[in-house]
Structure 1
């Protein structure tokens, strides 16, 4: 990864004046499909196009995909951002770009419960390192890198409303060769934690992890298999929340959007499945599983990431920092 960083001067990038106008409808469609704020399309010229253009110049055509990690606290808008960037790269820069979510790499509910039985019940709850199928993810990335013209592969899809992996028929289909992979997730790129591991951080840890088995196992996994997974990343982008305090509000907003669109998502199957949409009270407890690592990443990722997007409380990108170019 590039280490030296500064603000990037986009005036050096030459883009056709018609590109923004031509892509506007595509971005609007993408936002609509994600039930995202339609006004985000107005960030086209200041955010989406400049970043897409910058990425397009990093692509190593014919030498495998450029893998771009995109991390950020829960609910900060990673999925929407990556989906828009991918659409722009595909439509505006003629690059085969795909979005891969770490959330889709969760182990099946059965496997998570099995791991929880072997370690601690805390691993039955999806979220932290230890609840993903990392070996499966690594094999998928290896296959993706070698995907040739005319070849097709499938990536898993996870359904949070049923807390389990979708059936194979509903997995994401990817055609080769791939130019850009946007690998997004709240803990993508997370380095191991170094401080405060000896004491519980919140009520949940005090109740369920007084002996530290859970948090130390998470850290061991970050030092091991997750380090191998994140080493696949060529460029790391981080979306920095203004503070941890806003993360619950963002994640709660995300959960309520899911709740309001359950019929759109599941259609006639809605009455036949056991949904797992969380109430606000349940979400507050659930967020405590994420709190330790989220606070750690908010502290260390701004200096570790190649690209930094600073967000305000409304989730608007108010500043961007890019690597120094030589």
Structure 2
């Protein structure tokens, strides 16, 4: 049983009843908080009720390795790592959400994290007109920070690899620009709020272990996954925005579910 399914499902039913057209539901939550599992369960729940639903992950909008290498060369080396704003195709995301809101058929992209590349278009999910699109991601709906908040590094990654703040300011500018345009297309926003950032590393480690196990089952090389040191550094890319979300988003999300370290709902 997914603890968040009923409260989010019940709220979404009310939002669908009040909507004048297709509904774009945003689900935000730190890595490992259960967003993808919840989104898939919601699609199944609403499909059983005759509601045309599909899910799009922000992760499926990632730029591939070569495109990020260009960002790393032209803007800052930290953009070689996928995750933060600027490492997604926000313009394609806007076009997809516009098509859904217009009630037209659309192809939903998919990204393969093991190969670090978008899947070919023939592997995308083609959907007809939808009643509900669930758009989930770790920073879905995030807003930029004030310039003064960017001055001091929040962790060793920023201190050692972004001492001049070039990377974090570019990320923040993306949140204020193309990502604001993307997130403004969301009709309702749900936040799965982790108890604090310290639990995110463990949650993300569980995801990596699951990926490693899946690759082994598929006969693929699990060496493509991250070891503990690489994972520690990877998670630090997400820390600033995750902390900001946990501070400011609960006041404006349409529904906030506060989770404990085991992902059970507190409130």
Tell me the distance in 1 between the aligned counterparts of 2:56 and 2:251.
24
Match of 1:10 in 2: none
TM-score scaled by length of structure 2: 0.93
1:97–1:182 Cα contact (<8 Å) kept: yes
Q: CA deviation at 1:63?
A: 4.2
Match of 1:190 in 2: 142
Tell me the distance in 2 between the aligned counterparts of 1:196 and 1:295.
12
1:60–1:179 Cα contact (<8 Å) kept: no
Cα distance change on mapping 1:120 and 1:67 into 2, 3 Å: same
TM-score scaled by length of structure 1: 0.77
> Of residues 229, 233, 237 in structure 2, which corresponds to 1:289?
237
Q: Does 1:280 align with 2:211?
A: no
Match of 2:67 in 1: 111
Match of 1:32 in 2: none
Q: CA deviation at 1:60?
A: 5.7
> Of residues 9, 22, 43 in structure 2, which corresponds to 1:65?
22
Deviations 1:262-307 (A, max 9, x none): 144xx35x26xx9631112210011111111111111111112110
Tell me the distance in 2 between the aligned counterparts of 1:108 and 1:199.
30
Note the residue ranges of structure 2 that are not aligned, 5 or more in a row: none
Deviations 1:14-67 (A, max 9, x none): xxxxxxxxxxxxxxxxxxxxxxxxxx25x4xxx423532331232269943111
Q: CA deviation at 1:115?
A: 1.8
Where do 1:1-326 residues align within 5 Å?
A: 40=1, 43=3, 47-59=4-16, 63-91=20-48, 93-148=49-104, 152-176=105-129, 178-194=130-146, 195-264=148-217, 267=218, 270=220, 276-319=224-267
Tell me the distance in 2 between the aligned counterparts of 1:296 and 1:62.
30
Tell me the distance in 2 between the aligned counterparts of 1:283 and 1:289.
10
The structure number with the bigger radius of gyration is 1
Corresponding residue pairs, total:
266
Tell me the distance in 1 between the aligned counterparts of 2:114 and 2:223.
5
Note the residue ranges of structure 1 that are not aligned, 5 or more in a row: 1-39, 320-326
SS in 1 for 2:15: coil
